[in-house]
Structure 1
């Protein structure tokens, strides 16, 4: 009878490690690592910062100048033209949202800000602008949620946080009533 020396010492010897065991042991870690690298790589290639095309930069500058002078139509035209040249730049959407908000269209402004937040969830200008538009619409609870989010991202001393806090303190914009909506009641007077 042949007795293995490893068995005599109380140890068992392991022959070849099966491939299945290796896969089960290392596959989850390898999958997680490759997924992390893929996400990091795709985030690096996503362009959310500066527009590359100088024509878009010139149009954005012209739009901002028109917006400062109160010419909302020219500002919108310039921003939309910049958007056609460089559709990936989120700053153009923020500018369009600001223009819509200043033009009394908070719903349209919220749409533009949501486009930005879908692409860049930490964009402070978009969070502040969306909160301001919500406050102007009367959705103060949602605006306060944006304020809490901003305070978590950049603190209470941040310019975007202070602007949103001021908009919430100001409250909703007054409702504009058209002349057709208000019909005077006829008054009969006796002579």
Structure 2
């Protein structure tokens, strides 16, 4: 008699747990329309049409907010527009969905280099190299080159002018 309430509680818990998973969509199954809009956005980016790329990628995210590729592509749009802080934020959203996304880590690291956060970019590079292992990895190669090159933002030094003669 004492075990009856425990058995009933465990039975209800098991029934609840098993029924909740049946309605969830797997993370690997993204909305096909979202993927179509993502490809359109990437094509617009390749053509240099940043506004169309941004619009298409935002549409992709409205259709499926789990689309990491759209976040990374938006980060690339931001990078091309020299909006490095926005690029870092977009890749952070992709990394919130999948912390081991080497492409997102690479794009984020490149934006960090442009912001002057080279030490943080090197942490991203170390993580990418750990995830890739011994095999060659394009994000690691690209980020290592960006770190080696350094920020592209050229700080113009003012040249002193000759004193005026009165």
What is the rounded CA distance, in whole Å, between the counterparts of 1:92 and 1:50 in structure 2?
Answer: 14
* Larger RCO of the pair (alpha carbons < 8 Å, separation 6+): 2
Separation in structure 2 between the aligned mates of residue 152 and residue 45 of structure 1, nearest angstrom? 30
Change in 2 beyond 3 A, CA 1:166/1:115: same
> Where does residue 160 of structure 1 map in the other structure?
139
Q: Does the alignment pair 1:63 with 2:41? A: yes
Question: Runs ≥4 in structure 1, deviation > 4 angstroms?
Answer: 187-190
Q: Report the counterpart of residue 170 of structure 1 in structure 2.
A: 149
Kindly indicate whether the alpha-carbon contact (under 8 Å) linking 2:110 and 2:146 is maintained by their aligned counterparts in 1.
yes
The secondary structure found in structure 1 opposite 2:35 is helix
1:44-63 alignment runs, 5 A limit: 46-47=26-27, 49-54=28-33, 56-63=34-41
Pairing 1:126–2:93 present: no
Q: Cα RMSD over matched residues?
A: 2.9
- Please state how far the C-alpha of 1:189 moved relative to its aligned partner: 6.8
Alpha-carbon separation, structure 1, partners of 2:120 and 2:146: 13
Equivalent runs, 1:10-159 vs 2, <5 Å: 46-47=26-27, 49-54=28-33, 56-155=34-133, 157-159=136-138
Give CA-to-partner distance per residue, 1:145-164, whole Å, 9 cap, x none. Answer: 11010000003610111111
1:118 Cα offset (Å) = 1.3
Conserved 8 A contact 2:75-2:87: yes
- 1:54-82 deviation digits (Å, cap 9, x = unpaired): 3x222111111111111111111110111
Q: Residues of 2 paired with 1:118 and 1:87: CA distance?
A: 12
Give, in whole Å, the separation in 1 of the partners of 2:29 and 2:145: 29
Q: Is this contact kept in 2: 1:128–1:160, CA < 8 A? A: yes
TM-score normalised per structure 2: 0.75
Alignment length (residue pairs): 147
- What is the Cα deviation at residue 137 of structure 1? 1.0
Q: Give yes or no for contact 1:50–1:89 (8 Å, CA) kept in 2.
A: no
Please report the TM-score for the alignment, with normalisation by the length of structure 1. 0.66
